[in-house]
Structure 1
Amino acid sequence: FVNKLDRLGADFYRVVKQTQDVLGANPLVMVLPIGEEDEFVGVVDLLTRKAWVWDDTGLPENFEIQDVPADMVDKVEEYREMLLETALEQDDDLFEAYLEEGTEPSMEDIKRCIRKGTRTMDFFPTYCGSAFKNKGVQNILDAVVDYLPSPTDVDPQPLTDEEGEANGEYAIVSADETFKALAFKITDDRFGTLTFVRIYSGTLKKGDTILNAATGKTERVGRMCEMQADDRNELTSAQAGDIIAIVGMKSGVQTGHTLCDPKAPIILEAMVFPKPVISISVKPKDKGSTEKMGLAIGKMVAEDPTFKVETDIDSGETILSGMGELHLDIKVDILKRTYGVELEVGKPQVAYRETITSAIEDSYTHKKQSGGSGQFGKIDYRIKPGEPGSGFVFSSVVVGGNVPKEFFPAIEKGFKGMMENGVLAGFPVLDVEIELYDGGFHAVDSSAVAFELAARGAFRQSIPKAGAQLIEPIMKVDVFTPDDHVGDVIGDLNRRRGMIGGQDAGGSGVRIKADVPLS
């Protein structure tokens, strides 16, 4: 859905092209905009060749269905032909009849082909409008019903073991299977905490006891409901494929937790959330707000897994971390406006990280003797940069008994523990692979503790040798500016160490793309 077509610089056709060039997607244009920027009034439905035109009240029901504007007829026919050719490729017989005989299939067949291509992700139905002014939203809601797959249309959700590795089993979409569900959203309103749940298998009834696989706690389901915006429809049961909200869960459930039958515990494939890139410090302006702030932040953390909170040990300040300045600005505004907490907010601190740039082989010996049994552990290892996003990877190719296998976990623990504090500025270290290939031990003095200390010493020794460097978050910036201000904008981006990626002239100004350090 290409939104905000009523805004300055909006260009539907440019965005469609960007989804192809930047995202590598295959957009299937379903509607065309009528008017641009502040003259945007509606859309033309390509399938029906009808124009949906809204008035200026902003009310979603205030629209008329009209004939296509005369100046858009040719463009509508051009895009409609492209739509049909792309959609009908999903059915060889319909496609052949359309190309060779000019026979246009029924609307039912066309929609069936669009639904099939959407399910297989061969293309993506693309709509446009202005959500704020309720223009074009109706079309996208109809498309959700017509084209998005039902739970039975897609592959079943894989199950995993406690380490998050797929175990080859699946949550079959059937009301007759054992209960399996995923908590995907948590909100707090005036009626209490709502846990939004998608049921993948089985049936859930009011009064059933369910297990939170992440916490190991069981809980009896009191109230559950079907949500329609802020309206609730109370339910007595729900089954595979349903999305429901359970009211007032107390098992410590968080976003991404698996809920299941206590007699058949399982874990669904985990949700992966990005790590925060920026932090701010906050503190209440008065002591009376301290407890209120703590309770409010606790609720917000439960609702948003990308929002983190911790206490600075040295200063005692509360540190909020998120995905960007806007993300944190919104959280602070919620604390003030919704929870009534008056805050003092510190300057944003960028979440720098450290990594390495080259591969090396190294050796480290930990040896300590101070009367009685000593400590001895020798490790020979290779260290190299890992794949982006891989984090910490440890492996061993030790042959023979130079380092007994029972010490491998201690060595891994030692290396992994050092990843939290880098050698340059104490920031967490990212994407490092370490391979243990040899070493040595002493029959009396070697122990798990000795090898863990050896690994910690090895980390401090080798990371600088492997080209340790500081890395920082880079934001993709897209600035639209009138022609007269292009030079000023580029100058400002350069002062912020930005890398200009390109300029596109169009509409009433110029769009500048750049990569800019968050700091």
Structure 2
Amino acid sequence: MGDRTNGRAGAAGRAPAADREQRIRSLRNVVLVGHSGAGKTTLAESLALATGALTRAGRVQDGTTVSDYDEIEHRQQRSVQLSLVPLEHAGTRINLLDTPGYADFTGELRAGLRAADAALFVVAATDGIDGATRLLWAECAAVGMPRALVVTKLDAPQADFAATVELCREAFGGDNPEAVLPLHLPVNHGPEGPDGRPRISGLHALLSGGCYDYADGHRVERAPDAEPAGAAAAARDRLIEAVIAESEDEALMDRYLAGAEIDAKTLVDDLERAVARGAFHPVLASALPLEGSREGLGSIELLELVTAGFPSPAERPLPDATAPDGRSRPPLACDPDGPLAAEVVRTSGDQYVGRLSLVRVFSGTLQPDQPVHVSGHGPAEGDHQDDHDTDERVGALSSPFGRVQHQVAEACAGDIVCVAKLTGARTGDTLSAPAEPLLVAPWQMPEPLLPVAVEAHSRTDEDKLSQGLARIVAEDPTLRLEQNPDTHQLVLWCLGEAHADVLLERLRTRCGVQVDRVPYTVPLRETFAGPGRGRGRHVKQSGGHGQFAICEIEVEPLPTGAGFEFVDRVVGGSVPRQFIPSVEKGVRAQLARGVSADYPVVHVRVTLVDGKAHSVDSSDAAFQTAGALALREAATEAGVRLLEPVAALRVLVADEYVGAVLGDLSARRGRVQGTEPVGVGRTLVRAEAPELELVRYAVDLRQLAHGAGDFTRSYARHEPMPDAVAARLRPGSDG
């Protein structure tokens, strides 16, 4: 494929305006998307090898790898964070953003989408397409992001390129499956592999008819076939018709229908324009390079598509920006001389240079040692960062490659760079000029719904815990930190178990803080099962002033939501007026502590009906104690019911899993309130369910719906818990 820009990147340093504009035109920001195990990181390494960024598979000159950044990734054998792989091909700079495929790290994926201008969806020929990838394709389509598909693992014995292409057409074609077609067909000319089948050794280019032979480990172009036959001829005709249908030249279709021969250059140019508009989504083939070789099957073709078909940053719309106080600002433009507007898309720590912020520059030019204004979207609950609108000075700018940081002189509009020493910035913050501060609209982030309760392992860890938590919250916007006011537990709200494991490991290795996981406690309540009466007697004499207070109360439950009422019906001054507030204070304190299972008591009316006092020994403290004792005695007589919180659920799931979701909600004591279709192939389930049954629902729903479901929940009310469930939670129970 040709190069739409035919430009080369400008030299580093303070480049003239014309050079900066040329740098923007010859820049591509591309994100790799796909489920875990699809081969995204392997593909990134293959492209780096083909462009010379790697000297051998997975290694740069100093021995590091493309993904060699986070030790946790090596231990877990999967990507857990966004990584940048800078490449250059045919004078075009490519910022390749490798994202985690596991659902627990969706926040890193969202950040990659925000920083990119086009997406490569990676589909393994051996694994199929999961529901989460289908949903992500629909999201990209909604914003018009250009997309292409790469079929990987074609060197696997069970790989079937044609079947995978048809699967992609069904999953991503929507109303127009002809917009998802291959540009090449694999050619089996190589020697037989271990399975006895001929190895795929080349590609047949459908538009030009040329053949690219990779049998010797590097691409060799052979003469095009005189006349494609069979499946190749049918695939070529289908591709030509699809390209012409998306052509901006309306006369081209008339010429084609009239039997005119359309030259290959015209078709390629129209194809590239359709890809850049997001109207056509080519499917490409990929396989690993041979041992000791540099070019894997399809690597050059993929690089050509990225450089010639994907848009530059100047061709893509930019996010909205306002002043930090909400006042409007002119729309951003990808102009190196415009006002500075950049966004932190990832924050991480480095043991040598400290905090590193991966930044996408939307407008203006960022230089080392430049003062910037850091704006955030308000401090998240419990994140220990009150100051979120401040001025800082940036440190060194670099282009990362694994562990290696290559220093750069400046980053102009469209660039993605690492910025050192932004100590107050966190993921999602905006960098702008101090004289003209801006705040870029936030990108969509998943809501963390898996609670993980933790406590410091030792006193030393407790002293460092606050600082460590502040650090990981700044790095990960999908983490929500909560100090529960009812249970007093420290709770990390995560996206899943793997997410929680990584966060705790980062606390230990990066922050030196060891924490222990403890069972998460759902905040329950108590209420009286019926009316009751109690007498509180607090009489002590031990020399000097004694303690004397007696009070009698009546207690009755109130309707849900009525709160607490205290009524004074004392007659004859049996309880002096100055001590009636003391009785109420003691009752309130006991209500907060609970009367049966240490849960707060709600929705009750307490009536003070009688009591006794002593002219010398009665006191405020004595009547507080008597009030608490009276409430506990009344609870023994009336009985206590546990109240559990109930959540309102909205579960969005693929149609084929609705039945399984409904059955699962029923098993969780849920009540389905209705279902309704949402878009094509998805259903919204509205239900209510006890919070006790939803502690692990974030994990269970993902398994139940095969990644094609998500949910939100909100507090609805507390309601009585079934006796059988309550019996397991009371003190002394075996449950």
Same fold (TM over 0.5): yes
Separation (CA, whole Å) in 1 of partners of 2:506 and 2:155: 28
1:82 is aligned to: 238
Any idea what SS the aligned residue of 1:177 has?
coil
2:476 is aligned to: 304
1:206 aligns with 2:349: no
Please state how far the C-alpha of 1:216 moved relative to its aligned partner.
1.7
2:418 is aligned to: 245
How far does the alpha carbon of each residue in 1:444-495 deviate from its partner, in whole angstroms, 9 at most, with x for none?
xxxxxxxxxxxxxxxxxxx999997127548787xxxxxxxxxxxxxxxxxx
Please state how far the C-alpha of 1:271 moved relative to its aligned partner.
1.0
Any idea what SS the aligned residue of 1:262 has?
coil
1:34-183 correspondence to structure 2 within 5 Å: 41=200, 44=203, 45-47=205-207, 49=209, 74-88=230-244, 89-90=246-247, 91-107=249-265, 109-130=266-287, 136-160=298-322, 167=328, 169-183=330-344
Residues 126 and 465 of structure 1, relative CA distance in 2, 3 Å threshold? closer
1:196 aligns with 2:355: no
2:440 is aligned to: 268
Q: Which amino acid aligns with 2:277?
A: T
Residues 73 and 152 of structure 1, relative CA distance in 2, 3 Å threshold? same
Asked whether the equivalents of residues 98 and 105 of structure 1 are also in contact (C-alpha less than 8 Å), the reply is no
Asked whether the equivalents of residues 2 and 127 of structure 1 are also in contact (C-alpha less than 8 Å), the reply is yes
Separation (CA, whole Å) in 2 of partners of 1:8 and 1:298: 48
Q: Which moved more, 1:200-209 or 1:265-274?
A: 200-209
Q: Which amino acid aligns with 2:355?
A: T
1:30 is aligned to: 183
How far does the alpha carbon of each residue in 1:173-204 deviate from its partner, in whole angstroms, 9 at most, with x for none?
22232111222222323433221222222222
1:322 is aligned to: 494
1:469 aligns with 2:688: yes
Match for residue 184 of structure 1 among 345, 362, 369: 345
Any idea what SS the aligned residue of 1:112 has?
helix
Q: Which amino acid aligns with 1:225?
A: S
Separation (CA, whole Å) in 1 of partners of 2:464 and 2:200: 46
Q: Which amino acid aligns with 1:268?
A: V
Asked whether the equivalents of residues 42 and 53 of structure 1 are also in contact (C-alpha less than 8 Å), the reply is yes
How far does the alpha carbon of each residue in 1:318-363 deviate from its partner, in whole angstroms, 9 at most, with x for none?
544333334444545666777787765568999xxxxxxxxxxxxx
Asked whether the equivalents of residues 53 and 64 of structure 1 are also in contact (C-alpha less than 8 Å), the reply is yes
Q: Which amino acid aligns with 1:105?
A: D
Percent of aligned positions with the same letter in both sequences?
Answer: 22
Q: Which amino acid aligns with 2:434?
A: P
Q: TM-score, normalised by structure 2?
A: 0.43
1:234 aligns with 2:407: yes
Any idea what SS the aligned residue of 2:343 has?
strand
Please state how far the C-alpha of 1:244 moved relative to its aligned partner.
2.0
The structure with more strand, counted as a fraction of residues: 1
Asked whether the equivalents of residues 648 and 688 of structure 2 are also in contact (C-alpha less than 8 Å), the reply is no
1:214-229 correspondence to structure 2 within 5 Å: 214=376, 215-229=388-402
Q: Which amino acid aligns with 2:389?
A: G
Please state how far the C-alpha of 1:206 moved relative to its aligned partner.
2.7
Q: Which amino acid aligns with 2:302?
A: I
Q: Which moved more, 1:294-303 or 1:319-328?
A: 294-303
- For structure 1, the 5+ residue unaligned runs are 351-363, 372-422, 432-462, 478-495, 500-512
1:413 is aligned to: none
Residues 206 and 10 of structure 1, relative CA distance in 2, 3 Å threshold? same
Please state how far the C-alpha of 1:7 moved relative to its aligned partner.
5.5
Residues 163 and 514 of structure 1, relative CA distance in 2, 3 Å threshold? same
Any idea what SS the aligned residue of 1:276 has?
coil
Any idea what SS the aligned residue of 1:169 has?
coil
Separation (CA, whole Å) in 2 of partners of 1:240 and 1:158: 15
Asked whether the equivalents of residues 42 and 129 of structure 1 are also in contact (C-alpha less than 8 Å), the reply is no
Please state how far the C-alpha of 1:249 moved relative to its aligned partner.
0.7
Asked whether the equivalents of residues 173 and 241 of structure 1 are also in contact (C-alpha less than 8 Å), the reply is yes
Q: Which amino acid aligns with 1:260?
A: S
Any idea what SS the aligned residue of 1:170 has?
coil
Separation (CA, whole Å) in 1 of partners of 2:410 and 2:200: 43
Q: Which amino acid aligns with 1:185?
A: R
Please state how far the C-alpha of 1:270 moved relative to its aligned partner.
1.5
2:636 is aligned to: none
Please state how far the C-alpha of 1:170 moved relative to its aligned partner.
0.9
Q: Which amino acid aligns with 2:395?
A: G
Separation (CA, whole Å) in 1 of partners of 2:431 and 2:194: 47
Residues 80 and 515 of structure 1, relative CA distance in 2, 3 Å threshold? same
Asked whether the equivalents of residues 324 and 375 of structure 2 are also in contact (C-alpha less than 8 Å), the reply is no
Separation (CA, whole Å) in 1 of partners of 2:202 and 2:443: 36
Higher-RCO chain (CA-CA 8 Å, sequence separation at least 6): 2
Separation (CA, whole Å) in 2 of partners of 1:309 and 1:219: 26
Structure number with bigger Rg: 2
Asked whether the equivalents of residues 453 and 492 of structure 2 are also in contact (C-alpha less than 8 Å), the reply is yes
Separation (CA, whole Å) in 1 of partners of 2:512 and 2:397: 30
Any idea what SS the aligned residue of 1:157 has?
coil
Asked whether the equivalents of residues 49 and 76 of structure 1 are also in contact (C-alpha less than 8 Å), the reply is no
Separation (CA, whole Å) in 2 of partners of 1:128 and 1:7: 13
Separation (CA, whole Å) in 1 of partners of 2:444 and 2:567: 47
Any idea what SS the aligned residue of 2:305 has?
helix
Please state how far the C-alpha of 1:169 moved relative to its aligned partner.
3.5
RMSD between aligned residues: 5.1
- For structure 2, the 5+ residue unaligned runs are 1-149, 291-295, 377-387, 523-560, 569-641, 651-670, 675-685, 712-735
Separation (CA, whole Å) in 2 of partners of 1:280 and 1:155: 39
Asked whether the equivalents of residues 31 and 43 of structure 1 are also in contact (C-alpha less than 8 Å), the reply is no
Q: Which amino acid aligns with 1:87?
A: V
Residues 333 and 170 of structure 1, relative CA distance in 2, 3 Å threshold? same
